[in-house]
Amino acid sequence: MAVFHKEIHSGPDDVSETAGRAELLPGEEYHPIQDYDLIVIGAGPSGLFCAINSSEKGKKILILEKKNSPGHKLLISGSGQCNITHSGDIQDFLDHYGDRGRFLRPALLGFTNRDLISFFEKSGLGMVEEKGGKIFPESMQSRDVLNILTAHGRKLGLEIKCGHAVKSVARIDDGFIVSGEDERYRSRQLVIATGGCSYPATGSSGDGYAFARTLGHSISEIAPALSPVVIKEYPFSDLAGLSFSDLLISLYRRSKIKEHRGDILFTHDGLSGPGILDLSRYIRAEDQIKISFVPEANRDALERWLVEKSQHDGGRRLLSVLADLPHFLSPGLQLSVRLTKRLLQISGIDFDLQMSQLTRVMRNRLIDNLTGLSMVVSDVCGFDAAMCTRGGVDTSEVNPKTMQSRLVQGLYLVGEVLDVDGDTGGYNLQAAFSMGMLAARSIKRVFNGN
């Protein structure tokens, strides 16, 4: 493999074939530099969309993709059905990216969910809205979303080189040298769209962080997000698959640090479901999670109801009484017998107990567990299970109005390589497309000399 030394980075005039040749070590092959107006590293949604929308007559655009075909992660998004965006008001999107809503504001407002839906509809792919406002292609096939992107790319004459992993990136006076295994490219404008670290088999394995670091950017700590959690001494392994709608989840590290409502799924070793996945960007090992089957605000009402049942229905089994938990105490909650038995077991109560035998101590333990069942996190699942990456290129070093680096002129960073992660529900793909579009608009301005 050719190694390029610092002289080759010193200025555009030095990056001549002669300069390149002079740098070769004995036994190295010489590869001539190929010139482009724009190079995009990564053929995921952000990179493809950026390249398509940067297209300008007479401008040579190259997309370099590590995998043998584009969009591997896009293809598995939404379990292969591609939850491409959300139907909500675009202003409401801003609350779905932790504290990065402000950074994403220009990108999201400049290219909204409506714009994205309209782009695909004009390209022949209708969209449908599913439960909770999630938007999917009407075919429910991620493949159709990807096909439209690649078809646009082909039509516009973009060059997409797959199976070409970028190995390094270097700054020259008036642009960049991008090197692969055995090829070198030069361009004035460069987009890093290499994604995060999750599901590394899709090709997004964190290479972009190294490229950005080489070019002077800071990278904030990388960790899995949109990830299930593993629970210590987990009591619900045999109830894996059980799910609950819209429960309050509270996160504690010494004191309460976050509260979130959402659906929860019991897995064989812990918790998942949108409510947990969305909260996972804040969760660390040893944190305490409390799940409220009954809202804490209804604690007194729950106590009154149990006391009344003990007084008037003393001969009835507690287990069957709990199956009739009134709607006003926890709207929508139906406690299954298996779960109720487990909650009684956790509360140290025999599930054959009659209401008249329920002591105040037992009742308080049961109420504690119904209003805030406490579990300790042993771990947040790793990048093989996480749908997103928390951390990445520091957003304070990127201009949110252009997606251009504040440190390196001509460098753009888009998509998950940045320290941006969204909730489940289509927020990540929308952000990837919106950032891709915003960078494209800035690149076009440069192409047109504005």
Binding region for ligand FAD (CB under 6 A) = 41-47, 64-67, 72-74, 76-78, 82-83, 165-166, 193-195, 198-199, 203-204, 207, 387-388, 415-416, 426-429, 432
- Shortest gap between Cβ of 421 and ligand FAD (angstroms)? 8
- Shortest gap between Cβ of 423 and ligand FAD (angstroms)? 9
Interior angle at CA 205, CA 208 and CA 202, nearest 5: 120
**Beta-bridge partner residues of 169:** 178
Report the candidate in 309, 416, 303 with the shortest Cα–Cα distance to residue 77. 416
Rank residues 290 and 390 by Cβ distance to ligand FAD and give the closer one. 390
Amino acid at 405: S
Rank residues 198 and 402 by Cβ distance to ligand FAD and give the closer one. 198
- Shortest gap between Cβ of 179 and ligand FAD (angstroms)? 10
Rank residues 51 and 249 by Cβ distance to ligand FAD and give the closer one. 51
Rank residues 134 and 363 by Cβ distance to ligand FAD and give the closer one. 134
The position carrying tokens 């497309």 is 433
Rank residues 20 and 45 by Cβ distance to ligand FAD and give the closer one. 45
- Shortest gap between Cβ of 218 and ligand FAD (angstroms)? 19
Q: What are phi and psi of 204, to 5 degrees?
A: -85, 95
- Shortest gap between Cβ of 145 and ligand FAD (angstroms)? 10
Rank residues 181 and 259 by Cβ distance to ligand FAD and give the closer one. 181
- Shortest gap between Cβ of 132 and ligand FAD (angstroms)? 12
Rank residues 77 and 369 by Cβ distance to ligand FAD and give the closer one. 77
- Shortest gap between Cβ of 427 and ligand FAD (angstroms)? 6
Rank residues 379 and 416 by Cβ distance to ligand FAD and give the closer one. 416
Amino acid at 40: V
Rank residues 163 and 331 by Cβ distance to ligand FAD and give the closer one. 163
- Shortest gap between Cβ of 273 and ligand FAD (angstroms)? 14
Rank residues 187 and 428 by Cβ distance to ligand FAD and give the closer one. 428
Rank residues 169 and 370 by Cβ distance to ligand FAD and give the closer one. 169
CB neighbours (10 Å) of residue 215? Answer: 19
Amino acid at 89: D
- Shortest gap between Cβ of 295 and ligand FAD (angstroms)? 30
- Shortest gap between Cβ of 70 and ligand FAD (angstroms)? 6
HEC string of the chain equals CCCCCHHHHCCCCCCCHHHHHHCCCCCCCCCCEEEEEEEEECCCHHHHHHHHHHCCCCCCEEEEECCCCCCHHHHHHHHHCCCCEECCCHHHHHHHECECHHHHHHHHHHCCHHHHHHHHHHCCCCEEECHHHEEEECCCCHHHHHHHHHHHHHHCCCEEEECCCEEEEEEECCEEEEEECCCEEEEEEEEECCCCCCCHHHCCCCHHHHHHHHCCCCEEEEEEECCCEEECCCCCHHHCCCEEEEEEEEEEECEEEEEEEEEEEECCCEEECHHHHHHHHHCCCCCEEEEECCCHHHHHHHHHHHHHHHHHCCCCEHHHHHHCCCCCCCCCCCCCHHHHHHHHHHCCCCCCCEHHHCCHHHHHHHHHHHHHEEEEEEEECCCCCCCEEEEEECHHHECCCCCEECCCCCEEECHHHECCCCCCCCHHHHHHHHHHHHHHHHHHHHHCCC
- Shortest gap between Cβ of 376 and ligand FAD (angstroms)? 27
Q: Check if the beta carbon of residue 34 is closer than 8 Å to that of residue 183.
A: yes
Q: What are phi and psi of 69, to 5 degrees?
A: -150, 160
